[in-house]
Structure 1
Amino acid sequence: MRRIAKNGRGILLYLRQEGRGIGLLSKLRAYNLQDDGYDTVEANRILGHGADERDYAIAARILDDLGVSSARLLTNNPQKIESLAEHGVEITERISLEPHVNRHNAEYLRTKVNRMRHILDLGPANGHAQGNAHGTSLRDLKQRIDRYFAEKGQPFVTLTYAQSLDGSIASKSGTPLPISSEQALRFTHQLRALHDGILVGIGTVLADDPRLTVRHNDGTHPVPIVLDSSLRFPSDAQLLAGDGPDPLIVTSPNADPDRKERLEAHGGTVIELSCGPEGGICVKTLLRTLGERDFSSVMVEGGTSILTSFLRRQCAQRVIVTVAPMFVGGTAALSSLAPEDQDTHARSDFPRLDNIQQRWYGEDLVLEGDPVWPVASE
């Protein structure tokens, strides 16, 4: 009620859905089972019910009667958002509720997070934060960025991308493909606002003509950084005409000087750096140069060759992957990371993630963690 009053206006709906829709009597029986050691989901299922049987059709009809077709929703429950959307109510923003966690309710709330997809900040559990609210995660990430830059003098690298269940980040034809849900996209834009720069390859610019802004959230637009060793950057790209900062275009010393001059005339900044052993811009030289230009953090968004290059060179401090529940059969997120000097491989030969966090945004699962490298970087 206080949150609604503070906003100036709002609607509070009371629905007769006792015990997540199973009714008062079954709810009391579920309490007895929980006293015997079952969690809230197990108790419901033992009684022949689902984990959550609430129906929001009536809520949608009430909102329709009130002339409300879209709303910001106070909830930690993605299922509530999905159900209302199915009944024609557009949820433009999820506003989190932060319960007071104590020894009496911690296990119950943890069950909601682990088994019912609720988005709650419960802090570490067995060494891993389970499905916490993203506000705490972003604050922690900002603190890590500041510490890393102060110690290393180079930007903290967050490598992030969205993929389908089969690992695709684009269609086979290379045409733009919206993978992230609106909720996950807003989180991505909050991440962008946390970083000084956002880095993509020229392939992404040519295929998607992105803006690389934080238009879905408040915040400062990061500086677009485009790796383009052959200087194919189009002079009519949105990055040169949008409302964000002018792009930093990184190319090789062999780039066409006339093209460089034209791009700079359109507002771009073009710098020349040496190429790495695989032919593209040398990632480690790039990061040293960005540090000298006072970039404390860079968010690397792809595409495939860029993501693979940063992982091969072990140049990432945090990895965040959004997984959407769809199959595409398109362009893979990564090329092979297998050691080329070995005929057989073990799990330990590949990068993995530690200190893992997971959370849901709508139907999308976001996994993030710290990369653990198999061998020392070359």
Structure 2
Amino acid sequence: MTRTAAARIPTPDGEFQLIHFRNNWDAKEHLALVMGEVTGRTSVLVRVHSECFTGDVLGSQRCDCGEQLAAAMHAVAVEGSGVIVYLRQEGRGIGLAEKLRAYNLQDEGYDTVDANLLLGHQADERDYTPAVLILQALGVASIRLLTNNPAKVESLQSHHFPVVQRIPMQPSVTHENAAYLSAKVRRMRHLLDLNGHVAAQTDAPVYTPLLTQLSKQAAARFHSTGQPFVTLSYAQSLDGCVAAQPGKHLDISAPPSLTMTHALRASHDGILVGIGTALADDPSLTVRLVQGDNPQPVVVDSHLRLPASAKLLQMPRQVWIATTDAAPQERQRALEAAGARILRLPATANGQVDLAALLIRLGEMGLGSLMVEGGPSILTSFLAARLADYAVVTVAPIFVGGVHAVNQSLDPSPEKLPRITNPQIVQVGPDVTIWGALA
């Protein structure tokens, strides 16, 4: 490791020396940002930082890298001396282009580890040998290392370089980086107290990154097709039931899952149920447990059976009722008088509302995303017609032995059955939720 040049760098945290190094180990140009006297010193405060153009330069919130670099500079300045070793190992060693490809995979639902693996890389390809060589070239005897990564400590120690203390760096958890930080804890052994930090600092639920990703996918789909992005969302028991008896409401999910359902409602432009659910549950379909706007309520009611006393007709937003030309005109007049808007649409061969035609109409009316909450007949119809884009299924740890969420066979060929691709499994209270795109 050869020192080639150095210059004074004044910063808001104080004046550093930036030292440039060349080496015959990896042929990369690594840097050291040094403050004060460190030669021959023990317990020097050190941060070994791997280059992150998106975080360090652009301030990207997808990661905590830029924040850690700034925090390390400030910590060294407060100490009065120390070293920040800046290694040119972009994207945990895979390079900027591959990191951007990994970002795209993360936007599809893969975590930061699996994204690297899918691209043919290791989860972490960094080599900390250059850091040891730089610290030795600077004459540092031993260090206190600013890091959350035990593998970094282990790597330096494997080169017989003394690390006398690991100093944690608590990140700011945001909607954009929560899944990334969680993956570093779960998959890469990073030592972070995310649960306590999230509760104390942001109150962000564990499913927040998935909600953010879902909203982005919905917007992209509507922009490209003009039709609403359809999310199926329902709660079932371990044996796949949504009710104990036909036409009877049953509370299945726990309160935290209900809160998640309201967050899903708030993230969609519209919410749809079938007439069976409207009659059995008399729902309001509003957002009450979280902050957010109420979605546009839509009821699929082929024969206009919704009673004028329904809660949906007492809500602030006018309910839209999708029906067929065969529905009685007198029922339409009665429901319109009660405040509903009637959408007459083509019927299928069995006299039900043509859901594909309904989606076209809803897109024309400006709905970019639609959450379908049930019941079984509507869920089954959307699945059978391959009209749903995404599913969020809550599974409660109970057995019911009643009415199943999917109430008829969908396809005799197993390879053609609807399935969730790349499912993301998140525990919400006692319930398990499964998120993913439908194929």
Query: Partner of 1:267 in structure 2?
Result: 339
Post-superposition offset of 1:100: 5.4
Post-superposition offset of 1:299: 0.3
1:305 corresponds to 2:305: no
Task: Tell me which structure has the larger Cα radius of gyration.
Answer: 2
Give deviations 1:99-146, integer Å, cap 9, x for gaps. Answer: 957978853369999xxxx7999xxxxxxxxxx921111111111111
SS of the equivalent of 1:366 reads: strand
Give deviations 1:239-293, integer Å, cap 9, x for gaps. Answer: 0113x41210011101111111111111110111111234311011000000110
Distance 1:191 1:233, change over 3 A: same
Task: Tell me how far apart the structure 1 counterparts of residues 197 and 362 of structure 2 sit (CA, whole Å).
Answer: 36
Query: Partner of 2:287 in structure 1?
Result: 214
When normalised by structure 1's length, the TM-score is 0.63
Structure 2 counterpart of 1:107, from 185, 188, 196: 188
1:252 corresponds to 2:333: no
Query: Partner of 1:88 in structure 2?
Result: none
Distance 1:101 1:370, change over 3 A: closer
When normalised by structure 2's length, the TM-score is 0.55
- Kindly provide the amino acid, as one letter, of the partner of residue 341 in structure 2: T
Structure 2 counterpart of 1:349, from 410, 413, 416: 416
SS of the equivalent of 1:140 reads: helix
Query: Partner of 2:228 in structure 1?
Result: 155
SS of the equivalent of 1:335 reads: coil
Distance 1:109 1:326, change over 3 A: farther
Query: Partner of 1:238 in structure 2?
Result: 311
Post-superposition offset of 1:349: 2.9
Post-superposition offset of 1:337: 3.3
1:366 corresponds to 2:433: yes
Task: Tell me how far apart the structure 1 counterparts of residues 289 and 376 of structure 2 sit (CA, whole Å).
Answer: 25
Structure with the bigger RCO (C-alpha within 8 Å, sep 6+) is 1
Task: Tell me how far apart the structure 2 counterparts of residues 360 and 216 of structure 1 sit (CA, whole Å).
Answer: 18
Give deviations 1:185-227, integer Å, cap 9, x for gaps. Answer: 1011000011111000000011110011111111000011000
Post-superposition offset of 1:335: 2.1
- Kindly provide the amino acid, as one letter, of the partner of residue 296 in structure 1: G
Distance 1:226 1:109, change over 3 A: farther
Query: Partner of 1:190 in structure 2?
Result: 263
Distance 1:112 1:317, change over 3 A: farther
Q: Which moved more, 1:273-282 or 1:202-211?
A: 273-282
Task: Tell me how far apart the structure 1 counterparts of residues 238 and 196 of structure 2 sit (CA, whole Å).
Answer: 21
Segments of 5+ residues of structure 2 without an aligned counterpart are: 1-149, 155-172, 199-204
Query: Partner of 1:87 in structure 2?
Result: none
Structure 1 counterpart of 2:216, from 143, 156, 160: 143
Task: Tell me how far apart the structure 2 counterparts of residues 324 and 306 of structure 1 sit (CA, whole Å).
Answer: 21
Contact kept? 1:119, 1:360, Cα under 8 Å: no
Contact kept? 2:247, 2:276, Cα under 8 Å: no
Distance 1:135 1:287, change over 3 A: same
Query: Partner of 2:406 in structure 1?
Result: 334
- Kindly provide the amino acid, as one letter, of the partner of residue 427 in structure 2: W
SS of the equivalent of 1:184 reads: helix
Contact kept? 2:179, 2:209, Cα under 8 Å: no
Task: Tell me how far apart the structure 1 counterparts of residues 353 and 193 of structure 2 sit (CA, whole Å).
Answer: 46
SS of the equivalent of 1:245 reads: coil
Contact kept? 1:275, 1:282, Cα under 8 Å: yes
Task: Tell me how far apart the structure 1 counterparts of residues 182 and 277 of structure 2 sit (CA, whole Å).
Answer: 43
Contact kept? 2:185, 2:191, Cα under 8 Å: no
Task: Tell me how far apart the structure 1 counterparts of residues 247 and 236 of structure 2 sit (CA, whole Å).
Answer: 14
1:228 corresponds to 2:301: yes
Task: Tell me how far apart the structure 2 counterparts of residues 119 and 193 of structure 1 sit (CA, whole Å).
Answer: 26
Query: Partner of 1:178 in structure 2?
Result: 251
The percentage of counterpart residues that share the same residue type is 40
Task: Tell me how far apart the structure 1 counterparts of residues 350 and 415 of structure 2 sit (CA, whole Å).
Answer: 24
RMSD: 3.0
Distance 1:186 1:278, change over 3 A: same
Query: Partner of 2:120 in structure 1?
Result: none
Task: Tell me how far apart the structure 1 counterparts of residues 288 and 384 of structure 2 sit (CA, whole Å).
Answer: 32
SS of the equivalent of 2:435 reads: strand
Task: Tell me how far apart the structure 1 counterparts of residues 196 and 399 of structure 2 sit (CA, whole Å).
Answer: 25
Distance 1:231 1:120, change over 3 A: farther
The correspondence of residues 13-52 of structure 1 with structure 2, limited to 5 A, is none
Query: Partner of 2:55 in structure 1?
Result: none
* Structure with greater proportional strand content: 2
